[in-house]
Amino acid sequence: MSAFSVFFTQSPSFLAYQRDMHKRKRRDNAQSLFKVEQIPSDNQIRNLLDPIAPEHFQAEFEWIQQELQQAGALAEFRDYGDTLLIALDGVTYFSSETVSCPQCLKRTDTSGRLHYYHSAITPVLVKPGRPVVLPLAPEFIVPQDGHEKQDCERAAAKRWLASHSHHWPPQTVTYLGDDLYANQPFCEILAQTYQQYFVCVAKPDSHTTLYDWLTMLEKANAIERQQQRVWNGKFGELWVYRWVTEVPLRAGTDAFRVNWLELTVTREDTGAALYHNTWVTNHSVTTETVRALAAVGRARWKIENENNNVLKNHGYHLEHNFGHGQQHLATVLLSLNLLAFLIHTAQQLVSEPYRLLRATLGARRTFFDDLRALTRYLFFESWEALFCFMLEGLEIDIPPGLFLSD
């Protein structure tokens, strides 16, 4: 909880401030807000966390997910075909030429220098048009016992599915992925083993057989086409959708059959290209569904914009080395950081006091600046007391019954 408090408040000095407060007031916010009985030193925290496997924290992610489901918050994420959209992607959160541990991956750059690094799969629930994403439990890309070959993103994604797919009944999830995931073994697992849907980017360079088929179908005028004009407030855009069904994902008589769709956006006045992408899916693609499926495919970028970008550049400092250790410290600290991000997101979804504060303060940075300043100088008996103090200070009318104790 001491380590978690640093990530939750986005304050590297939070524990130092609370030690000072305890000396002055004989009480502190680490104790009242995070239930830390005695604040350990930074070195002690790292020594205690290093031996803990990251799987230890899986239950916390699952518990929050269950609470959100019971509160009806997960239902708000349902989208195409009444499915939840889960975007899969890998992220590197540590890299060094000198610091390493047995859990590190290795790569050699073009100049021959060896790099040690840590990566993970960080799945999120997304929805087109919704700025909030919901982080799910990570799966770490680390050396696997009994495997000589280095672990990879695709193998980690398969482990994640094996560990977490039981949460969702068949045909209730659409998985989103980049070109890395648009391969036959992975798509077959999603469609046949887990009986779920997928919409994955499929590039020509890595799907030569598929695009050979598309070239033949185009010559035969057998590719469906639909055009839409969109006004963006400044100029007109032409959105052109193309699609075909039941084409092979790879070469061979056992090739898995998929449906392919494409979206091209150009300026109506100049013809300049604004956007282009292609996907494969096992959802049915028709005149009525192609636009919605393209929107689903585009939503994959939310894992970059609303998840990875926030974690790297908006206070969570994902790529900062908070401590590396000799066993699991790097993965444990990332787990706690992701858990902090998840809980803030969950608060925004279900806590009215939290929503009022975030809406009034506007920028994410302002909220955390205030949180850090208040907890440094003032003692609060509880989170309720802290939120109430902030609401009153901002002269926000507190609705009756807003807090459970009212």
pLDDT of residue 319: 82
State residue 406's pLDDT score: 38
For residue 2, the tally of other CB atoms under 10 A from its CB is: 20
Joined together, the tokens standing for residue 275 give 């956007």
In this predicted model, what pLDDT tens digit does every residue of 29-46 receive, in sequence order?
999 999 999 999 999 999
Domains of the chain: 50-350 (3.90.350.10)
Pairwise CA distance, residues 344 & 307, whole Å: 13
Say whether 356 sits in a helix, a strand or coil. Answer: helix
Cβ distance 394 to 360 under 8 Å?
Answer: yes
- DSSP 8-state code for residue 144: P
Alpha-carbon distance of 49 to 68, in angstroms, equals 28
Instruction: Please write the tens of the pLDDT for every residue from 245-304.
Output: 999 999 999 999 999 999 999 999 999 999 999 999 999 999 999 999 999 999 999 888
Question: DSSP string spanning 261-310?
Answer: EEEEEEETTT--EEEEEEEEESS---TTTHHHHHHHHHGGGHIIIIIIHH
In this prediction the pTM is 0.92
Q: How far is CA 190 from CA 165, 171, 198, 380, in A?
A: 10, 10, 7, 48
What are the per-10-residue average pLDDT scores of the chain (406 residues)? 95 95 96 96 94 92 94 94 96 90 89 92 94 93 74 93 94 97 96 97 96 97 96 95 97 96 96 96 97 97 84 81 89 94 94 93 92 97 95 86 58
pLDDT score recorded for residue 386? 96
Provide the token pair at 318. 């994902």
C-alpha 402/C-alpha 406 separation (Å) is 7
